[in-house]
Amino acid sequence: MDLSTFKQIRNEVAFGIGIITAIGVVMNSFLIPLVGISIGMIVIYLTKQRVMEIDRDERTTLVSQKASTATLSMSTAAMAFTGLALIILSRQGLADFEQLGYTLNILAFMMMGLRSYFDWHYKNKLGG
């Protein structure tokens, strides 16, 4: 199977998963989306095994890593600043989002901690 056929099948499966999930939400059922997503994942995995072309090379991997790092860094910083702003506004009496601010700051702290841990882990594992 060639790469373009796989991408078309992957898009159709994703569309089907979206429809099945919407049906599950409308019918207020947790089982329908769970089964639909599981079957979709299996179909994508099985079709991926039949692809004979190379879909990722070193350049694609490097671009993906840089994009992921930038996204994580910007999201964490934005989350921390938003949380701090919500805490300050709540203390000034302008809004009542102090708990949300603390929650965002705790999540940002946890994301920074996980990032630091995995940087350290892979640096030691890969000898950097």
86 and 97 Cβ atoms separated by less than 8 Å: yes
pLDDT band of 36, cuts 50, 70, 90: very high
The Cα–Cα gap between 26 and 42 comes to 24
**pLDDT average, residue stretch 24-42:** 94
Q: Kindly report the number of other CB atoms within 10 A of residue 54's CB atom.
A: 8
Residue 80 has pLDDT above 80, yes or no: yes
Question: Closest Cα to residue 99, out of 107, 112, 90?
Answer: 90
Q: Can you tell me the distance from the alpha carbon of 127 to that of 61, in angstroms, rounded to the nearest whole number?
A: 19
| Average pLDDT for the chain | 91
Total Cβ atoms within 10 A of residue 116: 10
* Per-residue pLDDT at 51: 86
Name the band, by pLDDT with cuts 50, 70 and 90, for residue 42.
Answer: very high
SS3 77: helix
Give the per-residue pLDDT at 122.
87
Torsion of Cα atoms, 66 then 70 then 72 then 76, to 10°:
160
The residue count of the chain comes to 128
What pLDDT is recorded for position 60?
Answer: 86
Asked if residues 105 and 83 have their Cβ atoms less than 8 Å apart, the reply is yes
Per-residue model confidence (pLDDT) at position 128 = 62
CA distance linking residue 94 with residue 60, whole number of Å? 46
> Domain map of the chain by residue range?
3-49, 58-121
Res. 117: pLDDT tops 90: yes
Percent of the chain with pLDDT over 90: 70
> What pTM was estimated for this model as a whole?
0.61
